[in-house]
A and B are shown apart, each in its own frame.
Chain A
């Protein structure tokens, strides 16, 4: 990034403007689209674009936790998102994305692991969420969190039944698939700090290269903060921190509603499909 580009972005920020035309505390518009198979979602925030795919398979539970299923999230960024990412190694920023998603979703028990147990100690469901990054324009933490939680809500696993000591996994046609029990919907919102005490929400690639520090708040609709990460750079008063949490809560409510609405639309489309006969198309 050239020094004049840095100066350009910084001077725009200093009089409350951004290259993308957004206000300082305005996040990018979220576009969400569910794919063909269950648990497939594509998230677009401005130029940032990624796909999350949730899948499940039967596996053996951990010895020290026989009553819980397994839940795995992989967030490897390939050089498709941008040549700055190497296919093999993980840079520090990618590590922070992985760690924050881990804390936001896995550590905050968004997915109830006990509901994944089939036969305690013998067999359980292993749910894995794979995030594939197609385009990088900053904001990977926020977009990944939304993508994984939306994919978990959209996913349906095959139903199982026990007969004697055998567990039968029914195919999707034999028995209607079972949704996962998602206990709450954590949403990440990231702030970026710049020189002269400038704070910006949802930075894009140029802003993320120029920023000196960042802060990420994960909160769900019922005002529970799932994780809070602010390490250094601009000090904030308690008042400012609470304000940011309120702002994050607003954004979380807005995104959670959008996800549920899109889920409803997708659910209707799916059911109208396999109802076997054409509903009277009442085009209101």
Chain B
């Protein structure tokens, strides 16, 4: 039985671990990046490119092969302090629509927790009618529909980057009361959202190998097949953390404080808006 040889991409699917080890030995990764190198994150806000004219705000984020688009639309709720930003993440599965998968639900919930942690000032969502007698009870609801157009690996970082960019891009309407029908209608003036500086500027994802090596921004089928330990860090502009979620199931000698320190220092990634 003479040894069989396969073209690299077939070999990568057949035996991802061995294929991956070959790269690690030379200190590089299948995607060509160094261990601690992030994919460049390109953000394009809706305002310049008329991405989604009818949305209050929108943005597209690209990193490597992955693309995420986020559009924000408004709505009213008549219950008190229920105004705010509500996100829903969908992953494009080649047109097959169906019940949301576990990954979509987990991404939606994690994004929701990040929004709560960001503590966006609720006054943004109060509606004050210029000359009305009693304060208006309705509140503004911003529905962020986030769609991962092409998924090449864990994508919480891209989803959050798209949402932040879209929120920055959002212009919410001022409201007035229609004399005849007495309901609240949006006027054409717009005002930007007042976003707190604690709004997280970046979420970074790290993979942890069995040997303890830290890989920044795992991406691509091979890395996803081989890495089972992940760390997600949400860091604000001024260095505070709002989210740290770590899952290390099979590491030979565990994760100690020094390793976590190393990861935290790497966290935070440059975003270049196009």
Residues of A within 8 A of B (CB): 58, 164-166
Contacts and interface: CB of A to CB of B under 8 A. Distances in A.
B79 A166 contact: no
A125 B80 CA distance: 15
Contacts of B134: 164-165
Contacts of B190: none
A58 B81 CA distance: 13
The prevalent SS among residues of B at the interface is: loop
Contacts of B80: 166
Contacts of B79: 58
B100 to A, nearest CB: 15
Interface in B58-82: 79-80
Contacts of B191: none
A126 to B, nearest CB: 12
B101 to A, nearest CB: 15
B93 interface: no
B137 interface: yes
B183 to A, nearest CB: 15
A141 to B, nearest CB: 31
Interface in B127-180: 134, 137
A165 B134 CA distance: 9
Task: Please give me the 3 A-B residue pairs with the lowest Cβ-Cβ distance, nearest first.
Answer: A164-B134, A166-B137, A165-B137
Nearest to B79: A58
Interface in B89-138: 134, 137
A166 B137 CA distance: 8
A43 to B, nearest CB: 32
6 contacts: A58-B79, A164-B134, A165-B134, A165-B137, A166-B80, A166-B137
B268 to A, nearest CB: 40
Contacts of A166: 80, 137
A164 B137 CA distance: 12
A75 to B, nearest CB: 22
A58 B137 CA distance: 15
Nearest to A59: B79
Contacts of A165: 134, 137
Contacts of A58: 79
Contacts of B137: 165-166
A166 B135 CA distance: 10
Nearest to B135: A166
B80 to A, nearest CB: 8
A58 B134 CA distance: 22
A161 to B, nearest CB: 14
Nearest to A58: B79
A165 B79 CA distance: 12
